[in-house]
A and B are shown apart, each in its own frame.
Chain A
Amino acid sequence: MDSFKTIKSKITPLDIINIDTDQIIPKQFLKLVQKTGYGNFLFYDWRFDQKNKLRNDFILNDPKYAERSILLTRENFGCGSSREHAVWALFDYGFRVIIAPSFADIFFNNCFKTGMLPIVLESAEIDYFFSLDSDIYVEVNLMEQTLSTDKKIINFKIDPMKRRMLLEGTDEIDYTLQLEDRITNYEKRYHR
C-alpha cells in the first residue's frame, strides 16, 4: 500500500444519509477476481440510466466535480454489505478522503486497507463543509490530523495505529506476521 500524503483538493458533496455499499458498487460488478478497475462502476445505478446513458441529475456526472479527491457525505456512509469492492471503487475513481458524521463499521475498517482515509466530524462541522463554496480547496493533513481551508482549521482524530500504518504505508499482514510468537503462544495456552 502507498503511504498517505497530504492532500489538497476541492470537495464533492453527496448530501444523502445512509448510502449503502449496494449503491456504491452494485452486485453485478463483484464478479471480478482482481482489486482494480472498479472506478467506472462507482454508483453505477445513480450515474447511469437503464439504457446505460449518463444521468444528468447525479452530482458525480457534473464535469465541475471531476478529479476531486475528497468526498463529503452524511450519516452512516457505507452501510450494508461488507464488500470491500466499495472502497476499491471509490479509490479507483480518485477519492482519497471521505468525510462524514459517521460510517458503518465494516466499511470504515475496509477504508484503511486500501489507503483511504475516512474522517469522522461533528454534525456542525459537516454542515460547515456543506455550506462552503464548492470551489474552495481543503487540505487534509494526516500527520497533524487537521482539515484546513484558508479560513478555518478543524481537527480530527484517527486511531494511532491506523494513522501510523497509513502514513508509513505499512502492510498490516506483514506487521502481524512479525508477532507470530505471540500467536503461537496464544494457540498453546488456549488449545486452539
Chain B
Amino acid sequence: MDYISPSMQRTLFDKIWDEHIVVNGNQIEKDSNGLGQTLIYIDRHLVHEVTSPQAFESLHQRGRKVRRPDSTIATVDHNVPTNDRSLPMVDQTSKIQIETLTRNCREFGITIFDIDSPYQGIVHVIGPELGFTLPGTTIVCGDSHTSTHGAFGAFAFGIGTTEVEHVLATQCLWMSKPKSFLVNIEGTRRNPHAITSKDIILSIIQKIGIDGGTGTVLEYKGKLISELSMEQRMTICNMSIEAGARAGLIAPDETTFEYLRGRKYAPKGEYYEELVESWRNNLKSDPNSVFHKIETLNADQLAPQVSWGTNPSMVSDVTGNVPHPDEFAKGNENERKLAIRALQYMDLQPGTPITDIKIDRVFIGSCTNSRLEDLIEASLVVKGRKVSAQVRAMIVPGSQQVKIQAEKLGLNKIFKEAGFEWRESGCSMCLGMNPDILAPGERCASTSNRNFEGRQGTGGRTHLVSPIMAAAAAIQGHFVDVREWV
C-alpha cells in the first residue's frame, strides 16, 4: 500500500483500517477530491433474526451468493422468549422471524446457534465467548452494539440491513474513515465492587454527550483500563455507541490473549501463539500518533451512576439529585427543552434525591451487563436478602453458556431464593421485542444501555445502572448507594 508512509505515527485504529483497505475510492472516483469512500474488508459477520430477513430476501431475489459463509455466524436473540423453551412460542410474528433466519442460514450455508443450541445467546455475548471475535479484525453486525467487540482490539461496528446484504454478498463495505478519539481513564477506583465499568462508561457519556463521539472511534486507554477484565472492558466498548461513536477500541494485551486461548473458534496451538506475538507487537497506538479529540476521566472520585432522563447522558451520582433542566442544559435552549420533556416522561421532580426514587421492576441482562462476572457481582448483595415486596426482578443471562456457568456456581439458587426470576438467555427487556416488557408508567432499574422513551415498553421508565446497583435496588425497592453494602 504505497499511499501510507511507513514513518507515519499511527493510532491503533489507523493500523486496523490500513490492513483492511481493498479499494481506495479516490483511485476510481474521478471527481472525489480526496473525499471518496474506501472499500474495506470485513473479517467477521454476526447475524440475528431482526435485521437480516430483508437482506437474505434480496440476495435470494437477485440470485446473489454469500461470499464467505465461513466468516459468518448467526443466532436468535432479540425476539426469543426467556421463559420455558419447551413451550410453544406465543408470538407468531416473532416465530416467523426466527424460523426465517434458520431457513436462510440453511439455504446459504451459515452456521446458526438456534433457540435450542447450548451456544445461543445475545450476538455480542456469544461472539467473544466463542472466540469468533479476534484482535485486529473488522467485525460487523446489523446491530449498533457491535461496538462491544472493540474490547478485543477489533474495529467492530453496527450496520443497517442493506449493508448486511452488502457484506453477505461481497464481504466488504464502503466507508469514509472515522477519526480517532482518545479517552484517557486516570486514577483508581476506591471500591471496585461498587464502582464498575458501567459507572465509568456512563460518566464518560455524560461528559462527552450522546453525540460527542459522532464520526469517531473511541480508544480507551490508561492503567485502569488495563486492569479491567475482558468482561468489564466489553461493558465500556458496548456503550461507545451511546456517545455516538462508530466504535470503541481497547488495545489487546495479555488479558485479551489469555481470554481467547482455547476458545471454540479461536486459532489453536502454535499458530495462535504466533498471532499473539504479532498482536502484542503491532496492535497499539504509536507513542506520537495523532488523535482528533482527547478526553480524560479521573476515576478517583467516581460514584455509582444512575440515569434520571431519557438518554444515556442524563445521569447522576447516586448521592446526587434529579437536576433542574437549567442545570442540565448549561445555557443550551434545545437541551433545556429536552430535559423538561425527559423529566415529564420520567415523572420526576428536579431536586429529588436519587435514593428517593422508588422502582417497580429490575432487569439484570442485555449485551452490556449479562455476562458471568456481572451476575457474580450482583449476587454479592443478594445473598441472604430478599427482593422488596413492591418489586418484580428478573435475571436474564446473556447466553446459554453464561447461564450454565452461573448455575454451576449456584448463582441461580442465590437469586431465586431472594425472589428473582431466573430466565433463559436473550435480549429480553433490553428492548422488549419479546413478552418481557414494562407496563405504561412502570419504573425499572435496568442494566441495559438505552433509557429512550418507550425502549422497554411503551410508557415504561428506565433508569440505567450497574448490575450490583440494580440488585441492591431490587432489595430496597429504591436506589441505594451500594458502596455502603460492599
Chain A residues packing against B (C-beta within 8 Å)? 16-18, 20, 22-23, 26-28, 30-35, 45, 50, 74-76, 79-85, 87, 102, 104-106, 109-110, 113-114, 159-162, 164, 172-173, 176-177, 179, 182-183, 186-187, 190, 192
Q: Which residues of A contact B25 (CB under 8 A)?
A: 161
Binds A, one of B124-132, B162-170, B283-291, B476-484: B162-170
Q: Which residues of B contact A85 (CB under 8 A)?
A: 161
A23-B452 contact given A33-B96, A84-B51, A106-B158, CB 8 Å threshold: yes
A183 touches B431 (CB 8 A): no
Name the residue of chain A whose CB is nearest to the CB of B41: A186
Chain B CB within 10 Å — which of A102, A159, A160 has the most? A160
Q: Which residues of B contact A83 (CB under 8 A)?
A: 50-51, 160
Interface flags for B398-434 (1: CB within 8 Å of A; 0: not) read: 0000000000000000000000000000000001110
Bound Cα distance A22, B460 (Å): 13
Q: Which of B19, B64, B142, B458 contacts A82 (CB 8 A)?
A: B142
Binds A, one of B29-37, B299-307, B378-386: B29-37
Q: Is B23 an interface residue (CB 8 A)?
A: yes
Q: Which residues of A contact B215 (CB under 8 A)?
A: 105
B453 touches A22 (CB 8 A): yes
Interface flags for B1-37 (1: CB within 8 Å of A; 0: not) read: 0000000000000000001001101000101110111
Q: 15 additional contacts, CB 8 Å, given A80-B450, A114-B162?
A: A16-B341, A17-B337, A20-B452, A27-B431, A31-B97, A34-B53, A45-B458, A75-B334, A83-B51, A84-B142, A84-B160, A106-B160, A160-B32, A172-B166, A176-B166
Bound Cα distance A190, B16 (Å): 13
B54 touches A75 (CB 8 A): no
Chain B residues packing against A (C-beta within 8 Å)? 19, 22-23, 25, 29, 31-33, 35-37, 39, 41, 43, 50-51, 53-54, 57, 64, 67, 71, 78-79, 93-94, 96-97, 100, 142-144, 157-163, 165-166, 169-172, 174, 176, 178, 210-211, 214-215, 241, 244, 246, 311, 334-335, 337-338, 341, 431-433, 440, 450, 452-455, 458-459
Q: Which residues of B contact A28 (CB under 8 A)?
A: 433
Bound Cα distance A76, B33 (Å): 26
CB A149 to nearest CB in B, in angstroms, measures: 23
Q: Which residues of A contact B79 (CB under 8 A)?
A: 31
CB B419 to nearest CB in A, in angstroms, measures: 28
A160 touches B33 (CB 8 A): yes
A34 touches B51 (CB 8 A): no
Q: Which residues of B contact A164 (CB under 8 A)?
A: 29
B35 touches A76 (CB 8 A): no
A33-B57 contact given A18-B311, A82-B158, CB 8 Å threshold: yes
Q: Which residues of A contact B172 (CB under 8 A)?
A: 176, 183
B171 touches A74 (CB 8 A): no
Bound Cα distance A50, B33 (Å): 51
B170 touches A104 (CB 8 A): no
Q: Which residues of B contact A113 (CB under 8 A)?
A: 160, 162-163
